C-alpha cells in the first residue's frame, strides 16, 4: 500500500516536472510578427520610425481618416462650432453639433485619446531622436517633433475644457498627469515651441520647421491674450509658407476625412447655423467652396452641402501657414487699435493670397465691426483647419485675453434643425475614460 502510494506520487511528480521542463524548453515560445518590441526602437532607425509614426498619428487625429470611425479634431471642433452640421444619424455626434455633449461619447473619446497619443508620440520621438541620433545638432527632426507636440497642446487648449491632464509612459513607468487649466495648457504649448526654436538643429533648417514653431508660438500667445508678442512672432513667417499634414487614398487611415465625410453625407457645410453662425454658404466666398448635392445627408433630414476646399481624399490640410501669420499680425494691429493697419493687412491677403483676388473689405466703422471683420476673415481663410472653435471661444472669453462677446451671439443658439434646442457647450468635455487617471477631476470648468 505504501509502495503503491509512493509510486503514484512519483508518477505525478514526474509528470508535473516534465510539464515544467517542456514549458522551459520552448514549447510555449510563439512568434507574433505584427508586434514591435520597444527595445528594438532604441536606435537611430528606431527613433526615426517613432518620428514618422508621430507625424502619422498627428495627421490622423487632426484630419480624421476615411474609415468613418475616426472623425478627427477639425471635424469635431467644426461640428461644435458653426462650420459643420450633423447630417448623419449617430446621436453621439449629434450631441456635439447640438452643444450638449455627454461625457460618454465614442467620437469625442477617440479624438481626445488620439490627440494625447499624437502628443505623447511626438514627445517620445523628440526624446529618442535626441538620445539616439548621432548628430542631433544637425537635424531639424527634433524641433519638428517638439513643434508638433506644441500644436497638440494648442488643440487641447483651444477645443477642450479646462482641466486636461498630460501623462506619459516611459519604460515600465506610467506617469499620470494632473489637471491643467486652459492657460497652463497654452503655457505648455508655448514652452514646446520655445524649446523647438532653441534647438540647435534648426541651424540646418530651410525655414520650414522654424516657421512652424514660430507660428505655433504666435498662436499660443494669441490664445494667452498676448497679442503684440503674437504679432511679433508671426512677423517673420513669409505669407507663402505652409506646413501640412498629408493624405493618400490608401490605406484608409491616410484619407482626408474632411473630404470623405462630405462625400458620405455625414457632415454638411453650415450656413448661419443657429442664427448667429457665419454665412459660409450664402457668402459664396471662394475660400469656402462647396457643392449643393441637392440631396439630404444620411439622416434623410439635413440638406447636404459638401465642402470643396479639400477636393479629394488625398488633399493635404494645413497645420500652419503664412496667411495665418498675417491674420495674427492683423489681430495684433486690432488690439493696438490700428484698425486701418488691420484692414490693410487683411486686404493684402485678399488681393494677393488668392486668385482671382477678392474685393477689398470696407472700413470698419468701429472696433466691434473690426472684430467682426477680423474674425470673419479668419473663419473664411482658416475654414476647416481647426481654428474656428478656438476663435469662437476667444470671442466670448472675457477681456483682456478675449473679446467678451455674449455666448449666444457667437455660438449657434435656439431651435436645433433636427428637433430640440441647442445646449450651452462652448468647448468639448473631458471624456469619461479619463476618470481612470487617479488625478483627473474632469473639467475644472466649462468656461470659454
Partner 1 sequence: MATGIRQRWLSPISLLCCLIFGTPLSAIAQQGAIGGRVTDQSGGAGLEASRVILTGTSRIENSDREGHFLFRNVAPGTYQVRVLRVGYKPATQTASVGAGETVALDFALEAAPVQLDELVTTATGQQRKLEVGNAVTTIDVAKVAETAPITEFANLLSGRAAGVQVLKSSGTTGTGTRIRIRGSNSISLSNEPLYYLDGIRLESGSTSTTLDIGGFGVDNPAGAGPSRINDINPDDIESIEIVKGPAAATLYGIQASNGVVRITTKHGTGGPPRWNLFSEQGAVADNNTYPLNFAGRDTTTAGIDNGYDGFCSIQSELDGLCVQTSVQSFQPLNTDSTRPYKAGLRQMYGANVSGGSDQVTYFLSGSYENEMGPFRLPKLEEDSILAVRGSVPDNQRRPNNLEKFGVRGTVSANVSKTFDVDASLGFLSSNTRFIENDNSFLTVNGSGTASGYLPDFQRGWYFIPAELFAELANQAANRFTGGFTGNWRPREWLTGRATIGYDVVNRTDVQFFPTGQVADYDPGGGSNRLGARSDNRFQISQTSVDLGLSARFSLSDAVGSRTSVGGQFFRDLSRGSYASGRTLPAGSASISGAATTQARDTSLESRSVGSYVEEEINLKQRLFVTGALRFDDNSAFGQNFNATVYPKASASWLISEEPFFHLSAFNTLRLRAAFGASGQQPGTTDARRFFTAVAGKRAGVGTTGVTFGSLGNPDLKPERSREFEAGIDAGLFRDRVSVELTYYNKLTKDALIERDIAPSLGASRSQFVNLSRIKNRGFEVAINTRIIDKPSIAWDVTLSGSTTKNTIQELGEGVSPIFVGFYQRHVAGYPAGGFWAPLISFDDANGDGIIDLTEVSLSDSSVFRGSALPTKEASLNSNLAVLGGRVVLGTQFDYRGGHLVDNSLEQFRCFSVQNCRGLYDKTAPLEEQALAQATFLPGGGNSVAFLEPGWFIKLRELSLTFEAPDRWARAFRASRLSLTLAGRNLWTITDYTGVDPEVNAFAQDNFASSDFESQAQVRYWTARLNVGF
Contacts to partner 1 from residues 419-438, by CB under 8 A: 419-421, 423, 431-438
Name the one residue in this structure whose C-alpha cell is 497619443.
117
| Residue among 20 and 340 whose Cβ is closer to partner 1 | 20
Interactions with partner 1, residue window 34-73 (CB under 8 A) = 34-38, 41, 46, 49-57, 59, 65-69
Instruction: Please tell me whether residue 20 binds partner 1 under the rule CB under 8 A.
Output: yes
- Whole-number Cα distances in Å, 420 to 98, 100, 401, 416: 9, 11, 33, 6
| Residue among 15 and 357 whose Cβ is closer to partner 1 | 15
Instruction: Please tell me whether residue 113 binds partner 1 under the rule CB under 8 A.
Output: yes
For the CB of residue 40, give the shortest distance to partner 1 in the complex, in Å: 8
Question: Contact, 68 vs 266, CB < 8 A?
Answer: yes
Determine which residue in the list 1, 3, 134, 399 makes contact with partner 1, applying CB under 8 A: 1
DSSP for 300-366? SSSEEEEE-SS-STT--EEEEEHHHHHHHHHHHHHHTT-HHHHHHHHHHHHHHSSSSPPPPPPPPSS
The Cβ of residue 136 has, within 10 Å, a number of other Cβ atoms equal to: 17
Grid cell for residue 218: 504666435
Question: Contact, 28 vs 122, CB < 8 A?
Answer: no
DSSP H stretches of helix in 268-310: none
| Residue among 14 and 352 whose Cβ is closer to partner 1 | 14
Instruction: Please tell me whether residue 112 binds partner 1 under the rule CB under 8 A.
Output: yes
For the CB of residue 258, give the shortest distance to partner 1 in the complex, in Å: 14
- Give, as one character, the DSSP assignment of residue 433: G
Interactions with partner 1, residue window 128-157 (CB under 8 A) = none
Determine which residue in the list 43, 92, 130, 376 makes contact with partner 1, applying CB under 8 A: 92
List the one residue out of 146, 155, 132, 131 whose CA is nearest residue 205. Answer: 146
Q: Can you tell me the distance from the alpha carbon of 60 to that of 257, in angstroms, rounded to the nearest whole number?
A: 9
Instruction: Please tell me whether residue 165 binds partner 1 under the rule CB under 8 A.
Output: yes
- The 285-314 site mask, x for binding partner 1 (CB under 8 A), equals -------------xxxx-----------x-
Instruction: Please tell me whether residue 23 binds partner 1 under the rule CB under 8 A.
Output: yes
Determine which residue in the list 6, 8, 240, 351 makes contact with partner 1, applying CB under 8 A: 8
Determine which residue in the list 84, 155, 166, 280 makes contact with partner 1, applying CB under 8 A: 166
The Cβ of residue 357 has, within 10 Å, a number of other Cβ atoms equal to: 12
Determine which residue in the list 6, 44, 138, 176 makes contact with partner 1, applying CB under 8 A: 176
Q: At what angle do helices 182-198 and 208-223 cross, to 10 degrees?
A: 160
Interactions with partner 1, residue window 352-411 (CB under 8 A) = none
Instruction: Please tell me whether residue 117 binds partner 1 under the rule CB under 8 A.
Output: yes
Instruction: Please tell me whether residue 228 binds partner 1 under the rule CB under 8 A.
Output: no
Amino acid at each position: 500500500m505504501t509502495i503503491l502510494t509512493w509510486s503514484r506520487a512519483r508518477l505525478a511528480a514526474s509528470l508535473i516536472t516534465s510539464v515544467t521542463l517542456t514549458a522551459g524548453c520552448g514549447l510555449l515560445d510563439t512568434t507574433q510578427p505584427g508586434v514591435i518590441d520597444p527595445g528594438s526602437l532604441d536606435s537611430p532607425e528606431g527613433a526615426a520610425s517613432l518620428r514618422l509614426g508621430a507625424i502619422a498619428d498627428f495627421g490622423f487625429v487632426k484630419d480624421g481618416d476615411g474609415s468613418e470611425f475616426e472623425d478627427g479634431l477639425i471635424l469635431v471642433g467644426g461640428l461644435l462650432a458653426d462650420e459643420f452640421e450633423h447630417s448623419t444619424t449617430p446621436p453621439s455626434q449629434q450631441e456635439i453639433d447640438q452643444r450638449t455633449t455627454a461625457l460618454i461619447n465614442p467620437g469625442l473619446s477617440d479624438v481626445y485619446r488620439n490627440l494625447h497619443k499624437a502628443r505623447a508620440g511626438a514627445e517620445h520621438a523628440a526624446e529618442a531622436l535626441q538620445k539616439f541620433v548621432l548628430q542631433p545638432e544637425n537635424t531639424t527632426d527634433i524641433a519638428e517633433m517638439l513643434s508638433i507636440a506644441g500644436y497638440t497642446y494648442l488643440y487641447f487648449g483651444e477645443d477642450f475644457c479646462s482641466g486636461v491632464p498630460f501623462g506619459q509612459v516611459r519604460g515600465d513607468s506610467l506617469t499620470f498627469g494632473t489637471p491643467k487649466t486652459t492657460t497652463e495648457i497654452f503655457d505648455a504649448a508655448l514652452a514646446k515651441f520655445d524649446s523647438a526654436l532653441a534647438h540647435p538643429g534648426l541651424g540646418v533648417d530651410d525655414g520650414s520647421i522654424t516657421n512652424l514653431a514660430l507660428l505655433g508660438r504666435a498662436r499660443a500667445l494669441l490664445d494667452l491674450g498676448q497679442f503684440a508678442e503674437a504679432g511679433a512672432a508671426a512677423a517673420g513667417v513669409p505669407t507663402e509658407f505652409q506646413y501640412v499634414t498629408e493624405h493618400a487614398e490608401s490605406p484608409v487611415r491616410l484619407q482626408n476625412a474632411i473630404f470623405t465625410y462630405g462625400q458620405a453625407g455625414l457632415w454638411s457645410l453650415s450656413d448661419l447655423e443657429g442664427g448667429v453662425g457665419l454665412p459660409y454658404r450664402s457668402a459664396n466666398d471662394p475660400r469656402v467652396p462647396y457643392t449643393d448635392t441637392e440631396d439630404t445627408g444620411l439622416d434623410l433630414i439635413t440638406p447636404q452641402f459638401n465642402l470643396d476646399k479639400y477636393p479629394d481624399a488625398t488633399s493635404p490640410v494645413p497645420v500652419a501657414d503664412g496667411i495665418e501669420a498675417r491674420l495674427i499680425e492683423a489681430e495684433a494691429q486690432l488690439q493696438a487699435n490700428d484698425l486701418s493697419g488691420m484692414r490693410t493687412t487683411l486686404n493684402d491677403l485678399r488681393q494677393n493670397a488668392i486668385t482671382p483676388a477678392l474685393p477689398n473689405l470696407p472700413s470698419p466703422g468701429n472696433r466691434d465691426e473690426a472684430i467682426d471683420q477680423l474674425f470673419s476673415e479668419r473663419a473664411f481663410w482658416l475654414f476647416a483647419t481647426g481654428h474656428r472653435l478656438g476663435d469662437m471661444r476667444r470671442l466670448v472669453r472675457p477681456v483682456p485675453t478675449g473679446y467678451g462677446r455674449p455666448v449666444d451671439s457667437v455660438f449657434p443658439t435656439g431651435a436645433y434643425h433636427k428637433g430640440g434646442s441647442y445646449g450651452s457647450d462652448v468647448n468639448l468635455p473631458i471624456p469619461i475614460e479619463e476618470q481612470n487617471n487617479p488625478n483627473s477631476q474632469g473639467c475644472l470648468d466649462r468656461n470659454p
